[in-house]
Amino acid sequence: MFKPFPLAIVAAAAVSTAAIAAGPLQVTSKILAEHRARAADGTTSETLVAAAKVVPGTRVVFVLEYRNTGRQPLANIVFDNPVPRGIAYRGPAPNSPAPEVSVDGKTYGALAALSVRTPAGARPAGPDDVTHVRWRLARPLAPGAQGQFAFQAVLK
């Protein structure tokens, strides 16, 4: 039997460095769990709900929301988030651009372009190897502008 895992520990590890910085860039993160409900007619629907306690195998979505509360555009914004231990990256969330990913926290790119060093040599990186996700804003963030990025994961 699995013991529930308090997701607050994971959430604390997932907060972007930008969330800590004071200034006009306001960043918040939240973790949502997939919840399946069966209707009386037998159909099943999936919704995302605030994740409080989860068990291994639970599919979750990490959401990073950002907003420029200042009076000037903000340029060169990079959101770099570690993927907490105990969480396995699965891919970008629907309607979210794919992040650059890293398997070592130093080199970023598309997952298919990365490799992992092993005692036997190198092998192609897979979703379970991802340690960091990163998004870059292509254009300056106008005053009052906001947006979000998200990725899917599963609790190991």
More confident residue, 106 or 7: 106
Residue 44 has pLDDT above 60, yes or no: yes
Q: Sheet harboring 100-102: ordered strands across?
A: 78-82, 132-136, 100-102, 108-109
> CA-CA distances (angstroms) from residue 125 to 61, 89, 122, 128, 131?
21, 12, 9, 8, 11
Residue 18 has pLDDT above 70, yes or no: no
Please write the tens of the pLDDT for every residue from 85-121.
999 999 999 999 999 999 999 999 999 999 999 999 9
Please write the tens of the pLDDT for every residue from 45-99.
887 888 878 889 999 999 999 999 999 999 999 999 999 999 999 999 999 999 9
pLDDT of residue 49: 83
Those residues whose C-beta lies under 8 Å from the C-beta of residue 8, and which sit 6 or more positions away, are none
pTM of the predicted structure, to 2 decimals: 0.79
Strand spans (E) along 25-109? 25-38, 44-50, 53-54, 59-68, 78-82, 87-92, 100-102, 108-109
**Chain-centre distance for alpha carbon 32:** 11
